[in-house]
Amino acid sequence: MTQIRRYIFLLLLSLVTFTSIAAEKFQVSVATQTGGDDIEVGEQFYVYLKLDNIDAELSAPEVPGALVKYFTLSSQSSSFVAVQGKMTRSSSLIYVATCSASKEGTFSFGPLTVGGVKSNKVSYKIVKAGSGSLSKQKQRQQQQTSRQGAYSQDQDDRNEGPKFIGKGNEKLFLKASVSKSTAYEQEALVYTVKLYSSYAPIKFIGATEAPKFDGFVVEESDETSKSLHYETYNGQEYATAIIARYIIFPQMTGKLTIKGNTYTVSTDEQEYYDDPYFRMLTVRRPIQLNVTPNDLVINVKSLPTPQPSDFSGGVGQFSISSSLSSASLKTNQPASIVYEVKGSGNLKYVKLPDLNNIFPKQLEVFSPTADVNAAAKGMSVSGSVKFDYSFTPLEMGQYQIPELALVYFDPSTGKYERSVAKGYTIEVDKGALSEKSQTKNRLKFDDALMPVGKLKQTHSVHIYSFGYWLWFILPALALAVIIYVYRRHLKSAADIVGTRMRKAGKVASRRLKKAAACMKSGDRERFYDEMLIALWGYVSAKLNIPTSELNRQNVAQRLLEAGAAEQTVQDLVSVLDDCEFAKYAPGSGQDELMIVYDRGTQVINALEDSKLSPR
């Protein structure tokens, strides 16, 4: 009896097992990203379609109140069971529809019929964006944060490629942008290169060449992406990162083109294989891609005319302040006054007027030392430049150091603006004696030098002698020579342009010495800045060209007209290009810095020997 019961039990168990295997089932369900009940407008949610023992290929269904972004076969499994000697196959398919909620309301999905099997019906509610619970919003933020650094490969393989800008494919491309497509000359612009990728985790190798900023002065910014972010572009979700950012200053007017450079990215491409007995297999194949961003064209306008006579060449937003070491001074003792220019724009190229033309003539002012503390930040180059002027009072008295105006062009207003540093009243007392202030001591007659007993009894009238008149002629000639030399000096001092031209070589020599010091200390960026200031400053002074009008074409034409050799002009332009290119190129060694320094020195010496005659 017990044996019969055992057989009956095994038979029933086999029948139950066979029935469960053979049953066909079709279920649908809805799930949100955060696990909440309600779905907010714009939120992403999922509709699952599970088919047990139903062999069918489904197409993307319509989901009420939502837009179906992706529809894919998420998983597939199968198994075999032997019942009373018969092999029975069991299978399970799960399709997932990724949806984006588009309008408010209460909606239902299903029932659907596939292979004669009807599914169940599910209901869901879509509410206004932002009306969800606080815990739900926090969960969404945490979920979005946890996705940084990973990609959704399932979405990548099924989504239609966007209309991207630049060279690449629908899964990986670069997009270059600039803050303004129309700008003023010398105005600060931001050039950005952004990476879009829907591949699995990538490895960014770097740029194989530098971008071509012809006609621009460039400052590289370190404000790039430290991590990946997600962004929807033309309906496709991408992982994005800003891989390069430059602050650029156009140096000439017209349409200037920025050519994108090539970047290399390494990643794994996934290939899928559907096996009837196992789950879907994924194979990763390493690939290396070279992508280039789009080229950009910028329309550069010239600064409004007429320009103020005291225009500093600054384009941006600036302010100037002053500080005096002491208001109580003494003759022939050095003092200093510091002017500090703060703001954003082409800060490194702002020039102050010649203080010798502004200060009282009793104060001798020397060339300043400039301390630049500026870097590429945000949308421009920001910071400060300190101009430290040393001066020496030559005479006693009270003198007025006038206010100093900084005239710059503000692109946001389209006008020339003025910032004023305050002036000072100084008191100069008597200090150490010098050739200019020394007074003659009175001579005292000493009887011991000429005793009465030793006076000559006879003497001649010296008025008739040549030596007597010589004492009048020599001072008169000396006075005439002094007056002639003094007049020449006044005329030369009044010729500001001529003086600037004559001293151009000396000023350039001082700048080159600073560049040499930077080269010895290994300050590569400061070295190239000093070389550019030396070369551009020399040409500006030698040809009497305002800083705002300096550009390669203008300088080359004016040098040739002034009598410079064509080879020398080509060498000058080549050195300028190399210096500007090296600022954002990979680091160079000491030998390369020495070559650039020697070339710059040779060009300036060649121009000095050319005896230029500017018009």
> SS3 string of 167-189?
EECCCEEEEEEECCCEEECCCCE
pLDDT for 477 beyond 80: yes
CB burial string 370-388: b at 16+ within 10 A, e below: bebebebeeebbbbbbbbe
User: Is 456 contained in some domain?
Assistant: no
pLDDT for 281 beyond 50: yes
User: Is 164 contained in some domain?
Assistant: yes
Of the chain, the end-to-end C-alpha distance in Å amounts to 129
The residue segments making up the domain with residue 579 are 497-609
Same domain, 165 and 294: yes
pLDDT for 557 beyond 50: yes
Residue 602: partners with Cβ closer than 8 Å, 6 or more residues away = 571
pLDDT for 304 beyond 70: yes
Helix (H) and strand (E) counts in the chain: 10, 31
Enumerate the β-bridge partners of residue 424.
401
- CA distance linking residue 546 with residue 552, whole number of Å: 14
CATH number for the domain that contains residue 521? 1.20.120
Residue 150 is predicted with a pLDDT of 32
Same domain, 13 and 132: yes
Same domain, 58 and 106: yes
- Mean pLDDT, range 161-169, rounded to an integer: 41
Same domain, 262 and 371: no
User: Is 419 contained in some domain?
Assistant: yes
Same domain, 214 and 335: no
pLDDT tier, 441 (very low <50, low <70, confident <90, very high otherwise): very low
Residue 21 is predicted with a pLDDT of 45
- Mean pLDDT, range 201-214, rounded to an integer: 73
Question: End of a domain among 429, 446, 479?
Answer: 429
7-11, 84-88, 259-263, 557-561: which range is least confident on average? 7-11
Same domain, 160 and 195: yes
- CA distance linking residue 194 with residue 262, whole number of Å: 13
Question: End of a domain among 378, 407, 429?
Answer: 429
pLDDT tier, 155 (very low <50, low <70, confident <90, very high otherwise): very low
pLDDT tier, 465 (very low <50, low <70, confident <90, very high otherwise): confident
User: Is 461 contained in some domain?
Assistant: no
Same domain, 81 and 196: no
Same domain, 160 and 54: no
Same domain, 110 and 194: no
Running DSSP on this structure, what letter comes out for residue 292? B
Burial of 131 (0-12, 13-18, 19+ CB in 10 A): exposed
User: Is 460 contained in some domain?
Assistant: no
User: Is 465 contained in some domain?
Assistant: no
Residue 321 is predicted with a pLDDT of 94
pLDDT for 20 beyond 50: no
pLDDT for 282 beyond 80: no
Whole-number percent of the chain with pLDDT over 70: 74
pLDDT for 74 beyond 70: no
pLDDT digits (tens, 9 = 90+) for 525-548: 888 888 888 888 888 887 777 777
Same domain, 134 and 241: no
pLDDT digits (tens, 9 = 90+) for 511-528: 888 888 888 888 888 888
pLDDT for 371 beyond 50: yes
User: Is 485 contained in some domain?
Assistant: no
Question: End of a domain among 111, 127, 146?
Answer: 146
Q: What φ, ψ does residue 362 adopt, rounded to 5°?
A: -75, -5
User: Is 462 contained in some domain?
Assistant: no
Question: Which tokens in the block code for residue 321?
Answer: 């302040």
pLDDT for 113 beyond 80: yes
CATH number for the domain that contains residue 229? 2.60.40
Same domain, 292 and 350: no
Quote the number of domains for the chain. Answer: 4
Same domain, 48 and 130: yes
